[in-house]
Every structure is written in structure tokens, then in C-alpha cells.
């Protein structure tokens, strides 16, 4: 059971740390914003409290001083500077590393944490201390420091216990210098705590004595520590307070619709309500708490404290089926669901084919209804895998900040369209390409601050990351306001690498595509960030694998924009089924622009030029029979599918266009991964395999062949 809680704790902590990183980056731009400081403090406080509950002592120890420093920032006692933000981000990274270790962290990680804490304490002017407050307290007479610390340490495999603690200090406790609120804070640091202060006995201001304590506290604490650890908090004030500590019985699993712990039961356990008074109050139609207050059986603070206890118990129960609006589902389970839906789509195609073959109207009706239901199931399942791309965008704010500092530049990241949704598998694979593009923009694009000032630009460069929908695709644009691409430098490097002849002239877009060649770089020196010519090669290869395309646009001295065109999903797509001889192929329907008929004579007349007129535009075409060596007899009238690939049209000559087909994408084996022009496969209703065309690669091949033919004719 504890492992289940630990897994949940790690997931929630990673989410909190991601939010903390975003908050700290915003705080760097707006250091005086109290809401941001409070948000950072809350995130650290939550991680600290939960870590103690689940036995992550290293995290609890490390976050203790971080929380103290953030609290000083919150109270205005410490200024938020750029150096502080850098150390706070490093602390966040260290906590993330500690999450990977249930037991004591490795020595190198522990050493890094100690160095970081020393830097933070030095910045805040705090004394050099290494143990949390609860362990720094002097042990009582007769107990060694080691024994006290050992008793108060929580076993990482121990079960969680819930304690009801009632603490009433002596009115004169302030006179010996005791800070009561520090005791409450130490207690809360042992686990998940809910504190209720009883302030009803505080007199009016004019009658209050500032040296007297008028309050008492009820604390609900769920922790992996034992009762001795709780008593250690009150070591020095045991004879100056009334202290009552009760361990509550385990509450078990919360059932749907059931109250965590009834209010009447809590009040009976506390001894604040008699069974007779409870029975009398329950006869009323009003809420129990209201009745008890109206009849002066209990005071309002007593009822409020019991309600806090009820809420605490509810929070610490093992969650059952509570009818929540959303549930957390492991990604592998979601992937398995999509795979099953894919199998159902294939089965539906088989059922439809069978009904057509045997010409049974009843079976045909069932097949049509089944097809509609499968389409709805497919759409709903795919929506479940769609996630906003903003979560990925936020990760790059830290990248831009760190790279700017490393390269001595000033740059900021601006995002747009963060709510745009994309398949989670596509989002996961976009990380590396976007990292390389942004690194390239900062290193090669954004100029040094002094250079930008001389050119009349702001010292701080801007990198814009934007996303938007475009049909069945998502467009992701990375723009910067730097120096832009150097056409001459790219051309000279291309000639040097043998990628084009000295006399060869390429269209602008094709020339810019050279930067995606393996090992291509115009950098004059290799740095820790770039210069080896591998980054943009990775971008091109990964985007091609996703079935997308990359487009570059630039203005010298003004900046560059990289546009990634990515399909919404990689699992199930709508396709256009075509046939060549006895072989079937699928063209992604989102790429299809139209279909036309062409005669064999017309194609023969074109010869090697392979260009056809379509809607007042010359379009290159690919004879797929020849490309895939299909053989068979060529029909007199063939059909051509006009598709859009890499921002231009290309035609595919086929024997027959069969029609729309709901396509479940199956990956090809490793033996076939390098086959040009094929991106995957699918299974048809009769069990045969159809290959899915890679429109982008076939379009690029058609343009290269056309350019070679035209160059030969010109020669």
C-alpha cells in the first residue's frame, strides 16, 4: 500500500516542481510580485510536508532551509535577485534528483546538495546548519542526541499514522523566550498537518497583555514518525503546557459517497459531547454542528476544530471510487487502449468486406452500424490522448534562460497557442527537435547585447514559440529577431561539402534546406552549444519520422522562422486507398488535394520530364509502378492522386483509386526502416497488407529528379 502512495507522491511532486520552475522564471522578470513568491513558497512547503510523510527524509531536510529562505522573501526580509533565482532553480533540480532515490541519495548528489545549501544560506545571511530544527533540538537528560534523532526518524516503509494533538501553552510561556509558532511549524514539518488555533479567549486589544499567551492549538498530523518524534518537538516546554497526543485508528479505504469520519463520532472521541446530547441533536433536521451551536452545547470554535479534523481524515484516506470529474491514468494503459481500438478498426474493415462478398443485407446493416460505433470509439479514444502543447513549451523557458547566461546573451521566450492540442506521443517526440532549434536560434541567431544596441535593436532578444491547428496538422513556429540566415555562407559551405556545384543555382528554400544535411554547420568554431553540425540534422530526421515537414524563412538582419508541420496523431488516420497491379497503398487523406485521370499516351508524351498541368500549375509526378517495381500490365487510363508534400504539390500515378480507408498505422520492422517513400503499413479487411506512402520524401525525390532532368536538358 505504501508503494502506491509513494508513486502518487512522486508524480505530484514532479508536477509541483514543474510549476515551481515556471513560477521562479516568472519571478525573475517580476521580482516584486508577492503572488509569485507565495506560489513558490506553497510549492516547496507542500513537497516538504509530503516528503516527510512518505519517508523521503533527504528531501525533507533539504527543503527545510529553502522554505525558510522563501518565507523571508515572502515577508520582505530578503530581496529576489537574479543570482537567487539561479540558486533556487538549482535547488529545484536537486529535489528532482532526490525523488529518484527512496533511500539515502548517492554521495555525489548529497555533496552537491550540501554545497548548494551553503550558497543559499550565505546569500540569506543564515548560520551554517545542516540538520532540520526537530533534529537540532537538545535531547532530554538521559537520552543521547543519536538516540533522539534515531527515534524521530521515519522509516520509509512505515505505515502512516494520524495523531490528534491538543497543545495549550502556559499563559507565561513567552517570558522565557519560547516562540510558540516555531513549535507549531516544527510539528507541521513532520508530515501532513492541519492546524486549528483557538483564539476565542484573546481579550480586546486594550486589555491584552503582550507578554501573555491566550491561544491554544488543535493539530491533526499524519506522519511516518512515531509518537516520540512528536514529543521531541515539545522537549523544552513539557512543564509549561498542557499537551495531549492521541493516535487515531486507521481509517481504511474511502467508499463512494461515504463520509470520511462523522462529526458526531469525532466529538464523542474528543470527550466534548455526550451520547445523550448527540442523540438529541440528531433528531433535528438541521446540520449537527448548527444544532450544537444553537443549543449552546458546544462553542463555534469546538465545532470548527472538529470539522478540520474530519477534513484531514478525509484527505489522508486511501481514495476509493468517489465519482471524481477526472482520473489519473497511466500512459501505458492509454496506449494499450489505442492499440485495442486499432484492432477493432481492422476487424470492422474485415466485417464490412465480408458483408460485401457474401451480399447479405442483414450483415451489411450490422456492419454499417458497427462502423459508426467504431468511428465514435476511435474519435473519443484519440481525444483522450490529446494534450495541450503548452506543457512542452514551458520547459523551454528554462533552456532559454540557462543558454543566454552561458553564452553571455540576453533573450526571452514568448509563447503563443499553448492550448493547442496534439497527440501525446507526438508531443513526447517533439522535445529534441525543439531543443536543437532553440539552441541554434540563441547561438547563431541572437546577437550579443552590445551588437544589438549598435544595430538599433533592443538588448534583449526574443524567441517566439507558437502553435496553431491547420486541418489535420499542427503548425509549430520558432521565430527569433536575430541576424537571420546567411545565404552566401550556406552556399559556400554547400559547395565546400560537395552538396552543390559552384555553378549550380538553387531556389531559396532548397538552399536553406542544406542546413539539415548531416554534419553541416556554418559556425567558425565549435562551442559547447553548437558548431558540430548535428542539431538540425536531428530535427529533420525526427520530423520526417513523424510524417511532418520543416520550412525555413528568413530576413537578413531581422531574424528567422522555422515552421514544423506535424500530423495530429500517429496511431489512426484517414487515408485514401489506391491500387497498383495487385498491390495496395495508402495516401494520408490530410495530404490529398485531388484526383485526376490521365491517359497512358499523355504520360508517355511527357517522357522524362514528368510534369503535368493541374489547376494552372505545373506539378511533378511520381509513377509509383516504376518507383516500387510493381510490374503488371499498365492500363490505358490511369489515375493520379495530387498531394501536398513539403509546401508543394506532387502527383502519384496509380492504377485505381479505391476510396477512403480508416487506417491503423503499424510500424515497419527494423529491416525496412530505411526504405525511402514508405512510412508504415496497415492491414486491410481481407488480411492483406497495404503500405503507407511517405508523401514528403516522395515529393522531395520528385523535385530532385525534375531538377536533374531540366539541368541535363539545359546542358
Of 268, 162, 564, 255, the residue nearest 389 (C-alpha) = 564
Q: 389-438: per-residue pLDDT in tens?
A: 887 888 888 889 989 988 889 999 998 988 888 888 888 888 888 988 99
Residue 173 per-residue DSSP state: G
**What is the band of 450 on the pLDDT scale with cuts at 50, 70, 90?**
very high
What pLDDT is attached to residue 276? 85
Question: What residue ranges define each of the domains in the chain, with the CATH number in brackets?
Answer: 2-130 (1.20.120.160), 136-316 (3.30.70.1110), 331-385 (1.10.287), 390-567 (3.30.565.10), 572-714 (2.30.30.40)
Residue 123 zone, left/alpha/beta (φ > 0; ψ -120 to 50; rest): alpha
**290 pLDDT above the threshold of 90:** no
Pair 486, 522: CB distance under 8 Å: yes
CB atoms under 10 Å from CB of 675, counted, come to 13
Q: 606-642: per-residue pLDDT in tens?
A: 767 788 888 888 888 888 888 888 878 888 899 999 9
**What is the band of 167 on the pLDDT scale with cuts at 50, 70, 90?**
very high
Using CB atoms within 10 A of its CB, is residue 515 exposed (0-12), middle (13-18) or buried (19+)?
buried
**488 pLDDT above the threshold of 60:** yes
* More confident position, 641 or 470: 641
Of 474, 450, 473, 477, the residue nearest 461 (C-alpha) = 450
Q: Mean pLDDT in the chain?
A: 81
What pLDDT is attached to residue 317? 64
Q: Nearest 5°: CA angle at 348, between 346 and 351? A: 115
What pLDDT is attached to residue 657? 92
Q: Which three cell numbers stand for residue 638?
A: 490511369
**What is the band of 215 on the pLDDT scale with cuts at 50, 70, 90?**
very high
Crossing angle of helices 2-29 and 390-407, in 10° steps, is 60
What pLDDT is attached to residue 289? 82
**168 pLDDT above the threshold of 90:** yes
325-338 average pLDDT score: 78
**What is the band of 261 on the pLDDT scale with cuts at 50, 70, 90?**
low
140-168 average pLDDT score: 55
336-354 average pLDDT score: 86
Q: Cα separations (Å) of 319 from 6, 80, 315, 712?
A: 14, 39, 9, 73
**556 pLDDT above the threshold of 90:** no
Q: Give the residue carrying C-alpha cell 492504377.
A: 655
What pLDDT is attached to residue 148? 34
* More confident position, 479 or 666: 479
State how beta strands 648-654 and 637-645 pair: antiparallel
CB atoms under 10 Å from CB of 655, counted, come to 21
Of 437, 463, 684, 406, the residue nearest 564 (C-alpha) = 437
Pair 560, 417: CB distance under 8 Å: no
4-25 average pLDDT score: 84
Q: Give the residue carrying C-alpha cell 532553440.
A: 438
State how beta strands 461-470 and 473-480 pair: antiparallel
Q: 97-125: per-residue pLDDT in tens?
A: 888 877 678 888 888 888 888 888 888 88
Pair 80, 40: CB distance under 8 Å: no
Pair 260, 162: CB distance under 8 Å: no
**463 pLDDT above the threshold of 90:** yes
Q: 666-685: per-residue pLDDT in tens?
A: 777 777 766 778 888 888 87
Residue 79 per-residue DSSP state: -
Amino acid at each position: 500500500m505504501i508503494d502506491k502512495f509513494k508513486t502518487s507522491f512522486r508524480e505530484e511532486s514532479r508536477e509541483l516542481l514543474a510549476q515551481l520552475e515556471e513560477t521562479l522564471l516568472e519571478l525573475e522578470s517580476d521580482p516584486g510580485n508577492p503572488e509569485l513568491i507565495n506560489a513558490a513558497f506553497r510549492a516547496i512547503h507542500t513537497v516538504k510536508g509530503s516528503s516527510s510523510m512518505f519517508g523521503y527524509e533527504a528531501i525533507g531536510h533539504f527543503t527545510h532551509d529553502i522554505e525558510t529562505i522563501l518565507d523571508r522573501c515572502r515577508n520582505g526580509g530578503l530581496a529576489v535577485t537574479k543570482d537567487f533565482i539561479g540558486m533556487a532553480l538549482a535547488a529545484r533540480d536537486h529535489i528532482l534528483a532526490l525523488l529518484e532515490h527512496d533511500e539515502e541519495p548517492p554521495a555525489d548528489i548529497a555533496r552537491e546538495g550540501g554545497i548548494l545549501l551553503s550558497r543559499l544560506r550565505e546569500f540569506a545571511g543564515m548560520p551554517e546548519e545542516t540538520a532540520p530544527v526537530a533534529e537540532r533540538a537538545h535531547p532530554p537528560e538521559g537520552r543521547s542526541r543519536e538516540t533522539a534523532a534515531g527515534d524521530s526518524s521515519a522509516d520509509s516503509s512505515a505505515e502512516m499514522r494520524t495523531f490528534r494533538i491538543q497543545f495549550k501553552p502556559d499563559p507565561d510561556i513567552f517570558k522565557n523566550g519560547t516562540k510558540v509558532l516555531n513549535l507549531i511549524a516544527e510539528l507541521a514539518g513532520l508530515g501532513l498537518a492541519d492546524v486549528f488555533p483557538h483564539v476565542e479567549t484573546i481579550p480586546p486589544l486594550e486589555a491584552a497583555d503582550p507578554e501573555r499567551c491566550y491561544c491554544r492549538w488543535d493539530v491533526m498530523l499524519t506522519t511516518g514518525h512515531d509518537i516520540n518524534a512528536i514529543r521531541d518537538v515539545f522537549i523544552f516546554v513539557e512543564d509549561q503546557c498542557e499537551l495531549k497526543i492521541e493516535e487515531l485508528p486507521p481509517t481504511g479505504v474511502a467508499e463512494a459517497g461515504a463520509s470520511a469520519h462523522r462529526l458526531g463520532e469525532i466529538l464523542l472521541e474528543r470527550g466534548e459531547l455526550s451520547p445523550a446530547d448527540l442523540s438529541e441533536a440528531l433528531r433535528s433536521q438541521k446540520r449537527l454542528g448548527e444544532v450544537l451551536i444553537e443549543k449552546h452545547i458546544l462553542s463555534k470554535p469546538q465545532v470548527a476544530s472538529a470539522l478540520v479534523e474530519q477534513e484531514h481524515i478525509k484527505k489522508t484516506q486511501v481514495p476509493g471510487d468517489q465519482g471524481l470529474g477526472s482520473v489519473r491514468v497511466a500512459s501505458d494503459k492509454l496506449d494499450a487502449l489505442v492499440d485495442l481500438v486499432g484492432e477493432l478498426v481492422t476487424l470492422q474493415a474485415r466485417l464490412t468486406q465480408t458483408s460485401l462478398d457474401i451480399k447479405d443485407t442483414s450483415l451489411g446493416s450490422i456492419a454499417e452500424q458497427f462502423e459508426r460505433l467504431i468511428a465514435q470509439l476511435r474519435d473519443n479514444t484519440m481525444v483522450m490522448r490529446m494534450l495541450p502543447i503548452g506543457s512542452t513549451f514551458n520547459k523551454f523557458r528554462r533552456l532559454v534562460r540557462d543558454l543566454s547566461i552561458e553564452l553571455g546573451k540576453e533573450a526571452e521566450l514568448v509563447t503563443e497557442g499553448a492550448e493547442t492540442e496534439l497527440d501525446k506521443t507526438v508531443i513526447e517526440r517533439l522535445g529534441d527537435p525543439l531543443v536543437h532549434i532553440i539552441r541554434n536560434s540563441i547561438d547563431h541567431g541572437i546577437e550579443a547585447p552590445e551588437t544589438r544596441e549598435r544595430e538599433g535593436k533592443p538588448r534583449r532578444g526574443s524567441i517566439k514559440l507558437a502553435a496553431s491547428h491547420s486541418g489535420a496538422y499542427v503548425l509549430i513556429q520558432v521565430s527569433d529577431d536575430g541576424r537571420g540566415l546567411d545565404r552566401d555562407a550556406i552556399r559556400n559551405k554547400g559547395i565546400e561539402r560537395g552538396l552543390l556545384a559552384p555553378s549550380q543555382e538553387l531556389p531559396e528554400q532548397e538552399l536553406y534546406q542544406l542546413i539539415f544535411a548531416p554534419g553541416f554547420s556554418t559556425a567558425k568554431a565549435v562551442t559547447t552549444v553548437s558548431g558540430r553540425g548535428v542539431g538540425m540534422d536531428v530535427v529533420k530526421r525526427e520530423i520526417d519520422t513523424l510524417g511532418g515537414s520543416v520550412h525555413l524563412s528568413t530576413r537578413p538582419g531581422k531574424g528567422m522562422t522555422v515552421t514544423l508541420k506535424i500530423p495530429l496523431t500517429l496511431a489512426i488516420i484517414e487515408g485514401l486507398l489506391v491500387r497498383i497491379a495487385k498491390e495496395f497503398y495508402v495516401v494520408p487523406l490530410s495530404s490529398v488535394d485531388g484526383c485526376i485521370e490521365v491517359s497512358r499516351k499523355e504520360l508517355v508524351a511527357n517522357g522524362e520530364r514528368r510534369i503535368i498541368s493541374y489547376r494552372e500549375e505545373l506539378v511533378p509526378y511520381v509513377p509509383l509502378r516504376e518507383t516500387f517495381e510493381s510490374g503488371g500490365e499498365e492500363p490505358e487510363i490511369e489515375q493520379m492522386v495530387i498531394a501536398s508534400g513539403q509546401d508543394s504539390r506532387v502527383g502519384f500515378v496509380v492504377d485505381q483509386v479505391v476510396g477512403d480507408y480508416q487506417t491503423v498505422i503499424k510500424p515497419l520492422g527494423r529491416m525496412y526502416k530505411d526504405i525511402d517513400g514508405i512510412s508504415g503499413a496497415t492491414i486491410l479487411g481481407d488480411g492483406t497488407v497495404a503500405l503507407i506512402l511517405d508523401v514528403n520524401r516522395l515529393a522531395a525525390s520528385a523535385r530532385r529528379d525534375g531538377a536533374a532532368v531540366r539541368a541535363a536538358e539545359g546542358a
